[in-house]
Amino acid sequence: MNPTWLIALPLGFAFLGIFAGKFSKAFLWIASLANAIISLFIFNGNGVTSYIIGGWIPPYGINLVVNDMTRVFLLAVNLIFLLALVATSAEILKKDEKMSVAFMLSLAAINGILLTGDLFNLFVFLEISAISAYIMAASGKEAISKFAALKYLILGSIASSFYLLGVIVVYASTGTLNMADAAAKVTSLNPNVLLAAGLLMVVGLGVETKLFPFNGWAPDVYANASGRGSTILASVFPIAMISAFIRVITFVINSGKLNELIIVLGITTAIIGEVLAFSQKRMKKMLAYSSIAQAGVILMLIGIGSSKAYIGASMLLLNNGFGKLLLFSVASQIALVAGSDHFENVTGVGRKSPLFTLLFGAGALTIVGMPLFFGFRSKLYVISATMDKSLWIPAVILITAAIEVTYYFRWIFNLVKADAKLSEKRSPVPFGLALAGLLAVLVVIAFGIVPEANLDFFNRIGDLSIQLSKTLMGGM
Amino acid sequence: MKKAIAALIAFLFFLMFVNILNSDSEEFKGIPKFGEVNLTERVSNKYISKSVSGDSGEIVYGKTENAESGSANMVTSIVVNYRSFDTLGEVTVLFLAATGVAILIGGGQRKSLAISVNPIVKISARIIATLLLAFGAYVFIHGHLTPGGGFPGGTIIAAGTLLMLVADDKKRTSKLLKILEGTMGFLYVVIGIAGLLVTGSFLKNFLPTGTMGNLFSAGLIPIIYSVIGLKVGAELSALLDDFFAEEGRK
């Protein structure tokens, strides 16, 4: 199956959706359902395949690359996107016909980011995904969501220009934009030039991947966007952005000094994220800081760059995707039921509707890394992957996990605490949220308990990452 | 204090760029100095000689037939042929930005002007806008021959709309613009999918490229540029209308 369909379908539907009125919501469903099915077909395969666009061979034309890492990410992204739509289907957005267009375009852009084998094409898709993210960020009910979106808009636009500047430096010195070709040519480059280009790109991609100190936009945006917007931003976007980060920073640039910088920044991000999450009074803000911390750990693993670290990073990414899908969709619904998501307001909501507690609890437990959940397996793997680098990296991971456990359990206990203030009326859980939530819970538990042999697609990520780094990635 | 730190960072940035611009040496490759670029190593060389899929000999304006990319304008052949997928993306960026504006501030009524506009101004604005429309169409239809193309052509058309909107405070753009915009974007994707189905490669040219320099040449390029021109024109016109409605009654 040609992966171009993953980009072309949502794109085509989005263009139709702008004047189709009510149908645009249906288009969104059709596009995401079709994408989920197509990505299932693409997942059934292995090895590296390059699909050329426009009939021009790389490095002259643009190509899409499907490898084992992309396959896993594509399936995860399209499934989580569909589940996020189902989970938040009860929410009524302002101007939701036009919002559907933005969601469709974000789906197309995310698939493009995962697939493309060209540095400039990646920039174009980053732009599309970023602009749709600004629109999603501004989709909240309160005016503060617009303010958060404006902050994100300024930071994000500067970040894209930094990335573009990095691409320009690479193009000026190597004369090519194809990732694999550039990766082969930068090895003979002056290390200073390479470092400068890499640094510019780290700044550019760091904003989107929430690397400290470029992540100031994230808490406000995640906390104030609409339910659907924040769920997609927190669960789907990190997978695509970190995939872009892996491709550009570690596969193309691959400069030793830069990787060390990323390890340090990643650890800092993780610690700061967890500590700030601990002190939050709002549920969605707490989740946002927790997302930042998760991104920090994943980026740190990417900085280490061993094959085991890549496997660990992709496990954590998927775990974070499914976990945050549960947490954000439930948190948005709870905020709707309780009037706000402040700590005092949500006390006892889970007692009235146990399903909330179940879904939120499952999401929290898999993020924290409790046994039986996917999080446990991935964190165990991460610790074993970082052990041979140095001992204090797993120690940091364990400490952050300990902080994580504390505050997540505080929120879970708060949800089930008996509280007289709440009215007797039960607050029903919308059908879509229950369905998608239970499916996501099934996924994280299944990934947590199935035997290792059934998860060999993760091992293939690790096997390939080394050879991919230079020769095969661009399919040349 | 903040300003001092900002100045320091800017200075360090400047030093970094001076450093990397002087990095080309015998030992290491860096950014090549002006006039010392080894063209054979760069992809752009083959775009200029139109020899990506094979040597096509000397390119002569008005004579060469069936070149791999039939556009006489070199930039156009890169933008709409060799890297057409990027252009589809850029069109989408503009589309999404216009949609975002419509979501956030669109849908209100027009704010009326504080001064009344002289009828002479209104009528002459209409005449000039018509000329701009024709000129914009000329620019995007000849995008494969002369400088210009879909984006500049569309912007010229939107400039005509802007003139009309400024000169007449009752003026609104037509609702049909959204339909035009969406259809044209959809057409671009359809052209891409047609390439995928006909030749097996998304956005690949499947029409004969003709004699270079003729109006009817270069295969899909004039079609795609007309689509882009109409789309950008419609999009920016609707966008301007949204801006004019920003402070009006909702």
Overall average pLDDT of the A71-78 stretch: 91
The residue among B13, B69, B186 with the most chain A CBs within 10 A of its CB, best to mutate, is B186
Q: Is residue B229 part of a domain?
A: yes
pLDDT given at position A421 = 63
Q: Same domain, yes or no, for B182 and B228?
A: yes
Of the candidates A2, A15, A190, the beta carbon closest to that of B196 is on A2
pLDDT given at position A89 = 86
Q: Same domain, yes or no, for B32 and B116?
A: no
* Most confident of the following: A288-292, B47-51, B59-63: A288-292
**B103–A189 C-beta distance less than 8 A:** no
Q: Is A419 exposed, middle or buried (0-12, 13-18, 19+ CB in 10 A)?
A: middle
Q: Same domain, yes or no, for B32 and B81?
A: no
The pLDDT confidence band at residue B228, using thresholds 50, 70 and 90, is very high
A209 contacts A245 by C-beta, under 8 angstroms: yes
pLDDT given at position A422 = 60
Q: Is residue B56 part of a domain?
A: no
Q: Is residue B54 part of a domain?
A: no
Overall average pLDDT of the A174-179 stretch: 87
pLDDT over 70 at A108, yes or no: yes
Please name the residue of chain A whose CA is at the shortest distance from the CA of residue B79.
A61
pLDDT given at position A420 = 59
C-alpha–C-alpha distance, residues B48 and A320, integer Å: 47
Q: Which of A111-120, A144-153, A202-211, B104-113 shows the lowest mean pLDDT across its residues? A: B104-113
The pLDDT confidence band at residue A162, using thresholds 50, 70 and 90, is very high
> Regarding predicted confidence, which is higher, B219 or A475?
B219
The amino acid occupying position A281 is K
Of the candidates A8, A109, A134, the beta carbon closest to that of B100 is on A134
Q: Is residue B48 part of a domain?
A: no
| Domain assignment of residue A329, given as a range | 4-472
Alpha helices in chain B (DSSP H): 2-21, 44-48, 74-76, 84-105, 119-141, 150-167, 176-199, 221-244
Of the candidates B23, B37, B189, the beta carbon closest to that of A8 is on B189
C-alpha–C-alpha distance, residues A242 and A237, integer Å: 8
A138 contacts A146 by C-beta, under 8 angstroms: yes
Per DSSP, the three-state class of A112 is helix
The pLDDT confidence band at residue A474, using thresholds 50, 70 and 90, is very low
- Chain A residues with CB under 8 Å of B195 CB are 54-55
Q: Report chain A's mean pLDDT, rounded to a whole number.
A: 86
Of the candidates A2, A14, A54, the beta carbon closest to that of B84 is on A54
The pLDDT confidence band at residue A472, using thresholds 50, 70 and 90, is very low
pLDDT given at position A184 = 82
**A95–B99 C-beta distance less than 8 A:** no
**B99–A54 C-beta distance less than 8 A:** no
C-alpha–C-alpha distance, residues B175 and A89, integer Å: 29
The pLDDT confidence band at residue B247, using thresholds 50, 70 and 90, is low
Q: Same domain, yes or no, for B31 and B84?
A: no
Q: Which of A142-151, A359-368, A420-429 shows the lowest mean pLDDT across its residues? A: A420-429
Q: Same domain, yes or no, for B29 and B143?
A: no
Q: Same domain, yes or no, for B28 and B88?
A: no
pLDDT given at position A426 = 64
**A191–B96 C-beta distance less than 8 A:** no
> What is the helix (H) or strand (E) element at residue A65, kind and residue range?
strand A62-66
Surface of B (50-89) touching A: CB under 8 A: 52-53, 81-86, 88-89
Q: Which of A395-399, B83-87, B110-114 shows the lowest mean pLDDT across its residues? A: B110-114
Q: Is residue B52 part of a domain?
A: no
**pTM (2 d.p.):** 0.93
Percent of chain B at pLDDT exceeding 90: 22
Q: Please name which of A234, A20, A236 lies closest in space to residue A108, comparing C-alpha atoms.
A: A236
Q: Is residue B191 part of a domain?
A: yes
- Chain B residues with CB under 8 Å of A135 CB are 96, 99-100, 103-104
pLDDT over 70 at A423, yes or no: no
Surface of B (16-45) touching A: CB under 8 A: 16-17, 19-20, 23-25, 28-32, 37, 41-44
**A192–B19 C-beta distance less than 8 A:** yes
- Chain A within 8 Å of B201 (Cβ-Cβ)? yes
pLDDT digits (tens, 9 = 90+) for A457-471: 777 776 655 555 444
Locate B204 and state its tokens.
């690949």
Q: Same domain, yes or no, for B19 and B92?
A: no
| Domain assignment of residue B7, given as a range | 2-37
pLDDT given at position A34 = 93
- Chain B within 8 Å of A117 (Cβ-Cβ)? no
Q: Cα-flanking dihedrals φ and ψ of residue A141, to 5°?
A: -75, -45
Pairing assessment for the beta strands A62-66 and A49-53 based on DSSP bridges: antiparallel
| Complex ipTM more than 0.85, yes or no | yes
pLDDT given at position A31 = 92
Query: How many alpha carbons fall within 13 Å on the CB side of residue A126?
Result: 29
C-alpha–C-alpha distance, residues A392 and A444, integer Å: 28
Percent of chain B at pLDDT exceeding 70: 98
Surface of B (118-177) touching A: CB under 8 A: none
Surface of A (240-269) touching B: CB under 8 A: none
Q: Same domain, yes or no, for B20 and B80?
A: no
Q: Which of A114-118, A344-348, B194-198 shows the lowest mean pLDDT across its residues? A: A344-348
Q: Is B45 exposed, middle or buried (0-12, 13-18, 19+ CB in 10 A)?
A: middle
Q: Is the peptide bond before A59 cis (omega within 30 degrees of 0)?
A: yes
pLDDT given at position A212 = 84
Q: How many domains does chain B have?
A: 2
Overall average pLDDT of the A202-221 stretch: 89
pLDDT over 50 at A418, yes or no: yes
Q: Is residue B206 part of a domain?
A: yes
C-alpha–C-alpha distance, residues A248 and A199, integer Å: 11
Q: How many domains does chain A have?
A: 1
pLDDT digits (tens, 9 = 90+) for A31-64: 999 999 999 998 887 777 888 888 888 888 888 8
Q: Report chain B's mean pLDDT, rounded to a whole number.
A: 85
pLDDT over 60 at A3, yes or no: yes
Q: Same domain, yes or no, for B96 and B187?
A: yes
C-alpha–C-alpha distance, residues A127 and A123, integer Å: 6
